[in-house]
Chains A and B, each alone.
Chain A
């Protein structure tokens, strides 16, 4: 596969959220504001790309018995790097994201891509796969958060779109709305993209 095909497969054809149903917890938790989703997405892209790259480099020497421990350690190290970088250089955003940056470590997408792709392919392809999977994840987060922020707060990226006449939909701010929106998104994609019949 070419690099472009690897990217497109990871980002769309085999998208982690709508195709593999991975990373759902964070997709539900951080999508009430678009800025949170974007930063979370960027953190995942960075961690995923570099973790995949590193895991792929050492794949020939990694003993099978400890491979998951090694993968978790590498993922955790990159996530902590993201956390330290945000605290030192973008403290406001670091504060907004609160505990979610640390939770990237537990994001199933990272372990999933490390196990399914990085441990069997070359470092460059693995990095492209990581970026693709991260971009696909970020796009889903942004789509869900767009509707949740728009109807829940009347704004997009914190900029007020609706005037004073708008009554915020409280349900959109709460977690259940993410379930509905994610389900609708998966239904639309399955029907129109994968042509899945009920």
Chain B
């Protein structure tokens, strides 16, 4: 029977149905948990990128703002619908006035795409803070771009140095070795063993800040 023409086909079909069924059940039961976690993580990242600015204006601490999630998120963060920008956008508000914006940006890493959230000043020229949403870089090497010392280098950086230019309006920064001490404000430390990934992060920030500024410079939100 095992040597017949139809047996291997029917056997394979039965095995596929059994295991696809097990996986479907497993996925369906875990899906709400995975989605709830993803949503909470995403909202906390948005709140985290604007927390310093919120703390400055409200005189609360960053920690207390983060601890009071989800109330603080509902009070201070609003999603914006900006036609044509093709990026999710949010604004941080305190007493009806906007104090910062937050955008979801993307770029190409070594192994796949990277997604990040950047908060900007209200004139879109300064990058206030950033957080990585997802990346597919090598664990222990490129994935170290998520470490705080690396991301902290980009905080409160003026990216749009020449606002009158219509083309490249972003500032120029260069990378130095992780163990070196920066000699000036334009030098940033790269992750050891992850040159391409470090460069990809900087390129993503330059390109996206450039795009956001040029798109929104003459628009009122």
A interface with B by C-beta (< 8 Å): 29-30, 32-33, 36, 58, 61-66, 69-70, 73-74, 77, 80-81, 84-85, 87-89, 91, 96-100, 167-168, 170, 173-174
Inter-chain contacts of A91 with B (CB < 8 A): 34, 37, 41
Task: Please give, as numbers and ranges, the residues of chain A lying within 8 Å of B136 by CB-CB distance.
Answer: 98-99
Is B82 at the interface (CB under 8 A from chain A)?
Answer: no
Tell whether A84 pairs with B30 under 8 Å between CB atoms, given A62-B11, A73-B19, A173-B192.
Answer: yes
- Beta-carbon contact of A173 and B141 below 8 Å: yes
A74 touches B19 (CB 8 A): yes
- A-chain residues with CB within 8 Å of residue B137 when the two chains form the complex: 98
Q: Which of B9-36 contact A (CB under 8 A)?
A: 11-12, 15-16, 19, 22-23, 26-27, 30, 33-34
Range class of the B interface residue count: 20 to 34
Closest to A80 in B: B23
When the two chains form their complex, are residues A88 and B138 in contact, meaning their CB atoms are under 8 A apart? no
| Shortest distance between the CB of A163 and any CB in chain B (Å) | 16
A58 to chain B, nearest CB (A): 7
Q: Are A77 and B22 in contact (CB under 8 A)?
A: yes
Which one, B15, B34, B140, contacts A58 given CB within 8 A? Answer: B15
B216 vs chain A, min Cβ distance (A):
31
With A29-B138, A32-B140, A33-B139 as contacts: A170 and B23 at CB distance below 8 Å: no
Q: Is the pair B7, A63 in contact by a Cβ cutoff of 8 Å?
A: yes
On chain B, the residues within 8 Å of A99 by CB distance are 111, 136
Q: Write out, one digit per residue, whether chain B residues 165-186 have a CB within 8 A of any chain A CB (1) or not (0).
A: 0000000000000010000000
**Nearest residue in B to A29 (C-beta to C-beta)?**
B138
- Contacting pair A30 B139 (CB below 8 A): yes
> CB-nearest residue of chain A relative to B177?
A170
**B37–A36 contact, CB under 8 A?**
no
CA distance A97 to B8 in the complex (A): 36
CB distance from B43 to the nearest CB of A (A): 15
Contact A170 B193, CB 8 Å, known A29-B138, A87-B34: yes
Contact yes or no, B139 A100, CB < 8 A: yes
Q: Find A77's partner among B3, B23, B141 (CB 8 Å cutoff).
A: B23
Residues of B near A30 (CB, < 8 A) are: 139-140
Given the complex of chains A and B, what is the CA–CA distance between A85 and B27 in angstroms?
A: 9
Give, as a whole number of angstroms, the nearest-CB distance from A108 to chain B. Answer: 20
Contact of A84 among B7, B8, B15, B27 (CB under 8 A): B27
Chain B residues contacting A62 (CB-CB under 8 Å) are 11
Residues of A within 8 A of B139 (CB): 30, 32-33, 36, 96-98, 100
Query: In the complex, which of the residues B2, B3, B23, B34 contacts A81, with contact meaning CB atoms closer than 8 Å?
Result: B23
* Shortest beta-carbon distance from A26 to chain B in Å: 11
A88 engages B15 (CB within 8 Å): no
Q: Is the CB of A87 within 8 A of B30?
A: yes
- Residues of B within 8 Å of A168, CB to CB, are 179, 192
